[in-house]
Amino acid sequence: MEQKNELKVYKFEVTRLKKNEDGTVSDERETTVCEYAFEGDPSPRVEYNCYWNFGDGCISLVSKDGKSVESDVNSTMEYMYDLGFRGVDVHKMIDGLEAPGRWAEVCLGDAVKTVLRVTRLQELPEIDPEATVRDSDLTPAQLHRVKIDGVPLFPEGGTVNASNPKTSTLVLRPELGRELGKVWEEVIRVRCGVIVNVTVDTAYHSADSANAKLTIKASTRKELDDALYAVGVLHPQDIEPDVVDGEGDAPTGFTATVILTTEV
């Protein structure tokens, strides 16, 4: 079982004294920068599910309070350096935060007393799914795999091009192959009374013809032949099974694949 990396969450805040309209410095502080950063496994709040295997692009998490939630603490440190804290050992500040609730801060010593405070948090802040989608550069297929609090950023049944009558509307159905297989299983059951398992390869297509690639698994060779005949194979006995499973001296399953096509 894969071991999860410990999740460590930090809040970076930069504050300073406000300036009055006359240019004097008040005693009131204002926050100029606030963002979160973490290292380790963010699940179950955020589940990536290897979205990068389904296209280019990247995710930008946004908290409910509208702040950036970075998955790279070093990048956030670089940002702090750009804000004037270069030369400050932010690594040392973070290393000292051994438990949630601990914080460390450093002051630049300028006229407005600019302060960087880093606080170790107990958990990730609540994530805003809609803001995360807006700030991210991901395809619908990738968004479907990313889950925030168990909910995909792009839901099953979600549409693409729904408002454009000149383009086909796409509807996400991740289990389409299994669902179509269930349809063919019912067709075979009605036509010949045989119960088999059918999977449909939805990725198989041709520009010149309509195709349906069916893989049928039956308990016996006769049931396989009956199922093949039910889907339109005239001489099913001519088809060599892809695989024959067995136990002891007897076969226990027969699997065959056929491509139903409008042209050959």
Mean pLDDT of the chain: 92
Per the structure, how many domains does the chain have? 2
Assess whether pLDDT exceeds 50 at residue 49. yes
Assess whether pLDDT exceeds 60 at residue 100. yes
Q: Is residue 171 part of a domain?
A: no
Please name which of 14, 144, 131 lies closest in space to residue 84, comparing C-alpha atoms: 14
Query: Which residue, chain included where needed, has tokens 């999977």?
Result: 199
Confidence of residue 1 (pLDDT cuts 50, 70, 90): very low
Task: Print the domain residue range for 109.
Answer: 8-160
Mean pLDDT value across residues 156-184:
89
Q: Is residue 167 part of a domain?
A: no
What integer pLDDT is reported at residue 166 of this predicted model?
Answer: 85
Q: Find the helix or strand (DSSP H, E) in which 62 lies.
A: strand 61-62
- According to DSSP, the β-strands at 197-201 and 211-218 are antiparallel
Peptide bond between residue 44 and the one before it cis (omega within 30 degrees of 0) = yes
Distance CA(189)–CA(221), nearest Å, equals: 16
Confidence of residue 224 (pLDDT cuts 50, 70, 90): very high
pLDDT digits 0-9 by tens, 123-163:
999 999 999 999 999 999 999 999 999 999 999 999 888 88
| Full-model pTM | 0.75
pLDDT digits 0-9 by tens, 64-96:
999 999 999 999 999 999 989 988 889 899 999
Q: Is residue 212 part of a domain?
A: yes
pLDDT digits 0-9 by tens, 187-211:
999 999 999 999 998 777 777 788 8
147 and 36 co-located in one domain: yes
28 and 154 co-located in one domain: yes
Asked if residues 212 and 200 have their Cβ atoms less than 8 Å apart, the reply is yes
